[in-house]
Amino acid sequence: MSTKEETAPADVEKPQTSSWKDSIYNPRTGEFIGRTAKSWALILLFYLVFYGFLAGMFTLTMWVMLQTLDDNIPTYRDRVASPGLVIRPLSLDIVFNRTDPLKYSQYVQHLDHFLQQYNDTVQEKNDLCMVGEYTEQDDVEEKKVCQFKRSILRQCSGLSDTSFGYRDGQPCVLLKMNRIIGLKPRGDPYINCTAKGRESPLLMNYFPAEGRFDKMYFPYYGKNLHPTYVQPLVAVKLLLNKEDYNNEVTVECKIEGSDLRNSDDRDKFLGRVTFRVNVME
Ligand SMILES: *[C@@H]1O[C@H](CO)[C@@H](O)[C@H](O)[C@H]1NC(C)=O
Ligand SMILES: *[C@@H]1O[C@H](CO)[C@@H](O)[C@H](O)[C@H]1NC(C)=O
Ligand SMILES: *[C@@H]1O[C@H](CO)[C@@H](O)[C@H](O)[C@H]1NC(C)=O
């Protein structure tokens, strides 16, 4: 292909040497690249109008679409909104040597960092809400935020026990539901964790008591209307003992007691989470 193209200009150059100059500007007809000034002007005008029209169409459709959107509520949502369950520390494989602080410091630091926004001093600025009632405030301009103080998490608050139990080989894990705007779980959602593949059930402590998520923290109104909102947390302290050390323990936690889904085959984080813990010594 390339050789043919290279030889082609040499063949045409011989008979008419000046014709290529004419094809750019022809002084006899006043044509510039084969068109007169008037013809060029018309073409330019055509494209100007054409692209102007396209830009106009685009702006119009965009504007019409934006009119249908609400800044505070997503337009497209799941058929039945149900939140995912996530844990802190942000790892589904919690492995550490309890006698070596360097091995668990990343978990402890992560938990402490995460709980900063739940500091009692920070949360005291928020409102005390009615326990067991949704905090509905659709008509209120400034949405209030219900207090969730980290001290509620007691041994898992990082206040009395600054290692969150990692030093003693009885680590705490924090659970929270992902935020969903407008979600109002029916019933009384609580966390139930079970260790798999054990003969006797693994003992655990839940904070707040019974691992409940209070209704007062719902509904959430979205980032714009509810900027300082904090999700309620449930802390689980795994009371591992000597026999559990140096073994992998698989723990599954689920949201129960409400209409929130927790057994979707396709989504294993919907209302539940499974993680592994291996405490060495
Ligand atoms: C939270 O409290 C701890 C001490 O309890 C303090 O060191 C930290 O700076 C506080 N964080 C915020 C964001 O107020
Ligand atoms: C937690 O789940 C286990 C296993 O699914 C079940 O046997 C137990 O009754 C549940 N506990 C509560 C308080 O719902
Ligand atoms: C855990 O750390 C201790 C002390 O640093 C060490 O003696 C022990 O072998 C470690 N255990 C494992 C399983 O690495």
Question: How confident is the model over 27-70, as pLDDT tens digits?
Answer: 777 788 878 888 889 999 999 999 999 999 999 999 999 888 87
Q: Are the C-beta atoms of residues 147 and 126 closer than 8 Å to each other?
A: yes
Q: Of 89, 91, 145, 83, give the one whose Cα is nearest residue 118.
A: 145
CA dist 254 and 171 (Å) reads 18
Residue among 148, 91, 93, 142 at smallest CA distance from 115: 148
* Ordered domains of the chain (ranges, CATH): 2-67 (no CATH), 85-280 (2.60.40.1660)
Structure tokens at 125: 């600025």
Ligand 1 within 6 A of 119 CB?
yes
User: Strands, E, within 55-137: which ranges?
Assistant: 85-88, 93-97
Helix (H) / strand (E) element for 187: namely strand 187-196
d(CA 16, CA 175): 84
CA distance 247 to 99: 16
Rounded to an integer, the average pLDDT of 68-73 is: 77
SS (H, E, C) 16-27: CCCHHHHHHEEC
Distance (Å) of CA 47 to CA 52, 56, 57: 8, 14, 15
Cα distance between residue 48 and residue 28, in whole Å = 29
Q: For a ligand 3 pocket test, name from 95, 97, 98, 167 the mutation site with the most ligand atoms within 8 angstroms of its C-beta.
A: 97
List all residues 6 or more positions away from 274 whose beta carbon is below 8 Å from its beta carbon: 92, 250, 251, 252, 253, 268
- Return the residue whose CA atom lies nearest to atom 5 of ligand 3: 100
From ligand 3's centre to the CA of 281, what distance in Å? Answer: 5
**Could you tell me which of 255, 166, 274, 251 has the C-alpha nearest to residue 210?**
255
User: Ligand 1 center to residue 116 CA distance, Å?
Assistant: 6
- Please report where in the chains the tokens 């965009």 appear, as a residue: 62
Answer whether 192 contacts ligand 2 (Cβ < 6 A). yes
Atom 5 of ligand 2: nearest residue by CA position: 194
| Ligand 3 closest atom vs CA 97 | 1
- The 85-88 sheet, strands edge to edge: 85-88, 172-177, 234-238, 204-207
Lowest-pLDDT range, 197-201, 208-212, 274-278? 197-201
Q: For position 79, what pLDDT does the model report?
A: 57
Q: Are the beta carbons of 18 and 28 closer than 8 angstroms?
A: no
Q: What is the pLDDT of residue 8?
A: 47
Q: Which atom of ligand 1 is nearest to the CA of 122?
A: 14
* Amino acid symbol at 218: F
256 lines ligand 2 (CB under 6 A): yes
Quick check: 131 pLDDT over 90?
Answer: yes
Q: Whose CA is nearest to atom 8 of ligand 1?
A: 116
Does ligand 1 lie within 6 Å of residue 181's CB atom? no
Contact 271, 84 (CB under 8 A): yes
Q: What pLDDT does 13 receive?
A: 47
| pTM for the predicted model, two decimal places | 0.77
Mean pLDDT in residue range 74-97: 85
- Report how far ligand 3's centroid is from the alpha carbon of 100 (Å): 7
- Whether the CB-CB separation of 163 and 110 falls below 8 Å is answered with no
Find the largest Cα–Cα distance for the chain.
103
Q: DSSP secondary-structure letter at 14?
A: T
| Mean confidence (pLDDT) of the chain | 89
User: How far is the C-alpha of 190 from the C-alpha of 234, rounded, in Å?
Assistant: 8
